[in-house]
Amino acid sequence: MTAPGGPDGGWRRLDPRTVLVTATVMAGVAGGAGLPVLLGLAGSMPWWQALGWVLAGALLLVAGGTGADWLRWRRTRYRIGPQRAELRTGLVLVRRRSLARERIRTVDLTASPPLRILGLVKVRIGTGEHTGAGASTLELDPVSRPEGERLRRELLAGRSGLAAEADRDGVLSTLDPRWIRYAPVSFVAPLLGGAAVGAVMQVSQWLGVQAEVVGWVGERLRDTPLLWAAVVLGALALAAGAAGALGLWVEMWFGYRLEREPGGTLRLRRGLLTSRSLSIEERRLRGVELVEPLGVRLCGAARVDAVATGLLKDDQGRNAAHRTLLPPAPGPVAGDVVARVLREPVPPTSAALTAHPRAARSRRLRWALAAALAPVLLLVALGLSLADVLLYAAAVCGAVSVPLAVLLALDAYRGLGHTLAGDYLVARSGTVRRATVALRRGGVIGWTLKQSWFQRRAGLLTLTATTAAGDGAYPVYDADEHEILDFASRAVPGLLEPFLERPGGGDGHA
């Protein structure tokens, strides 16, 4: 690499070992794709001839991918100057992108297993702006780990503006292995179970043995009633999903450590095979969100997400994985992390909330009953015209879904609430995914008032706080229309008043 200020104007190259990483990855891809191709060709030609074709194709794939990455490495340079971070790349069409250093908000380090073995990291430098086409992000893939750490420290140094005596630097939270018990009760488990069933069927189809697999399962459950067979298959799928959720949890959260660095930067490190280092400037933090999915909440646990501006998003445009500060952990632990992150003596998320009117409970009961009875009525209609067995299915569905829907509706109503806790606006809602947000009042940049015809008849109103951080909007559902307007006026004085009608100088209404 060329040293800063050298003859190349301070431009640096990526680490040349990127070519070795690409060759390794391409060899793995070629091996994974070559095995089923070899099995398919072996049925129509001698095995040695099939092996020769597969090896030739694999060699071509590895050589092509490695050569392309070597060209990318040769033509890529980056430079960190006093004012801008710059990246230059391209063979025929040269692209040059730059970010103003004062606009840089995140410098995140990620290392997949091949990168970790070689001591390399991928560095993503971002402004947090959503300008499209990656224009707000520079990606250095890869550099050495010491170089990545140097870039992170240099680009984030002295950005918070917090007083040194108030930093309270140090470790805020570390991994407790006992938290793994919350992994099987998350929503990931059933999703992974369904994915496992689909994978078994797909692989058996590739190998031409799908009929044999289905026949083997049918033979084992031949004397089992249909309902119990479905229960057994569902339990097996859930068991597979739970095992997958445990493995995923270990991969994501192994080595978890949340700390506050000098200068007021929150740094999160985690990952077993793929290591991740995420940084959040505290001056970009607008609050936190305490998230309690149903299964996790029944176990008395919750996770903590950051509500911050300038967080990088993943390749699918989501940033949920990049804002989680604490995996599902016991409630007291989550509350302690909230207080430590926000520098508060007690967590704002534990403040007593203002209950919502009973009309909000009635709305949730009506929604829940409508959702539960719709499939029952459909089964009844089909049963009257097709088969009586569908009527029995409708009875079973109604006996299960209606009480469950009522319980969830009542729980959703009990979870509703809002309040002001010091510098924070606190709002809670949801049942399947209950979320309590503590949003800094200074981070609210606007209000959205929504009132349907049914809400107007019931005297309810939904108030949404708009912010530049996190999800961008945090609603307070079905609150009393008069109380919630006063709440908004007290939360951010002067923001709502110009839009209130005050006939005769009296109290205003939206």
**What digits encode the pLDDT tens for the residues 409-438?**
999 999 999 999 999 999 999 999 999 999
Whether 316 has a pLDDT exceeding 50, the answer reads: no
For the CA atoms of 292, 294, 295, 296, the dihedral, rounded to the nearest 10 degrees, stands at 10
What is the model's pLDDT at position 5? 45
pLDDT digits (tens, 9 = 90+) for 440-466: 999 999 999 999 999 999 999 999 999
What is the model's pLDDT at position 9? 67
In the DSSP assignment, the letter for residue 460 is: E
Distance CA 84, CA 55 (A): 47
The answer on 282 and 168 residing in a single domain is yes
Q: Which residue has the higher pLDDT, 504 or 301?
A: 301
- Counting the structural domains of the chain, the total is 5
| 3-class state of residue 270 by DSSP | strand
Q: How far is CA 432 from CA 278, 406, 429, in A?
A: 28, 13, 10
pLDDT digits (tens, 9 = 90+) for 86-104: 999 887 788 888 888 888 8
CA angle at 270 for the pair 269 and 272, rounded to the nearest 5° = 145
User: For the CA atoms of the chain, what is the radius of gyration?
Assistant: 28
The answer on 118 and 106 residing in a single domain is yes
The CATH code of the domain that includes 474 is 2.30.29
Q: Does the residue 401 lie in any domain?
A: yes
Q: Does the residue 437 lie in any domain?
A: yes
pLDDT digits (tens, 9 = 90+) for 27-68: 888 887 777 777 677 667 777 877 888 888 889 988 999 999
Q: How many residues are given for the chain? A: 510
Phi, psi dihedrals of residue 59, rounded to the nearest 5°? -65, -40
Q: Which domain holds residue 216?
A: 182-252
Strand order in the sheet with 275-281: 137-144, 120-126, 106-111, 275-281, 265-270, 257-261, 170-174
Q: Match 């099995």 to its residue by tokens.
A: 39
Whether 160 has a pLDDT exceeding 60, the answer reads: no
For the CA atoms of 214, 218, 221, 227, the dihedral, rounded to the nearest 10 degrees, stands at 80
Final residue in a domain of this structure, among 228, 252, 276: 252
Whether 288 has a pLDDT exceeding 80, the answer reads: yes
How many other CB atoms sit within 10 Å of the CB of residue 358?
Answer: 10
The answer on 196 and 283 residing in a single domain is no
Average pLDDT taken over every residue of the chain: 85
Distance CA 482, CA 465 (A): 17
Phi, psi dihedrals of residue 507, rounded to the nearest 5°? -65, 145
Lowest mean per-residue pLDDT among 125-129, 148-152, 173-177: 125-129
What is the model's pLDDT at position 189? 83
Q: Does the residue 6 lie in any domain?
A: no
Q: Among 254, 303, 243, 310, which Cα is nearest to 282's?
A: 310
Whether 291 has a pLDDT exceeding 70, the answer reads: yes
Whether 164 has a pLDDT exceeding 60, the answer reads: no
Final residue in a domain of this structure, among 122, 156, 190: 156
Q: Does the residue 294 lie in any domain?
A: yes
pLDDT digits (tens, 9 = 90+) for 129-141: 654 445 578 899 8
The answer on 465 and 477 residing in a single domain is yes
The answer on 406 and 462 residing in a single domain is no
For the CA atoms of 370, 371, 373, 378, the dihedral, rounded to the nearest 10 degrees, stands at 120
Q: How far is CA 336 from CA 44, 304, 329, 341, in A?
A: 65, 10, 11, 9
Distance CA 430, CA 403 (A): 18
The answer on 336 and 245 residing in a single domain is no
Q: Does the residue 4 lie in any domain?
A: no
Q: Does the residue 510 lie in any domain?
A: no
Instruction: List the beta bridge partners of residue 303.
Output: 291
Axis-axis angle for helices 389-415, 358-385 (nearest 10): 170
What is the model's pLDDT at position 507? 43
How many other CB atoms sit within 10 Å of the CB of residue 23?
Answer: 18
What is the model's pLDDT at position 158? 58
The answer on 138 and 188 residing in a single domain is no
What is the model's pLDDT at position 464? 95
The answer on 146 and 25 residing in a single domain is yes
Q: Among 363, 357, 364, which Cα is nearest to 479's?
A: 357
Distance CA 302, CA 436 (A): 10
Whether 338 has a pLDDT exceeding 90, the answer reads: yes
Q: Does the residue 239 lie in any domain?
A: yes
What is the model's pLDDT at position 505? 43
Final residue in a domain of this structure, among 350, 369, 391: 350
Q: Match 């809670």 to its residue by tokens.
A: 428
The answer on 264 and 248 residing in a single domain is no
Q: Which residue has the higher pLDDT, 380 or 157?
A: 380
The answer on 438 and 332 residing in a single domain is no
User: Percent of the chain beyond pLDDT 90?
Assistant: 51
What is the model's pLDDT at position 253? 95
Confirm if 70 and 19 have CB atoms less than 8 A apart. Answer: yes
The answer on 129 and 240 residing in a single domain is no
Q: Match 């998320």 to its residue by tokens.
A: 349
Q: Does the residue 5 lie in any domain?
A: no
Whether 319 has a pLDDT exceeding 50, the answer reads: no
The answer on 308 and 170 residing in a single domain is yes
Whether 304 has a pLDDT exceeding 80, the answer reads: yes
Phi, psi dihedrals of residue 155, rounded to the nearest 5°? -80, -25
446-452: long-range contacts (C-beta < 8 A, 24 or more apart)? 446/495, 447/488, 447/492, 447/495, 447/496, 448/473, 449/510, 451/481, 451/510
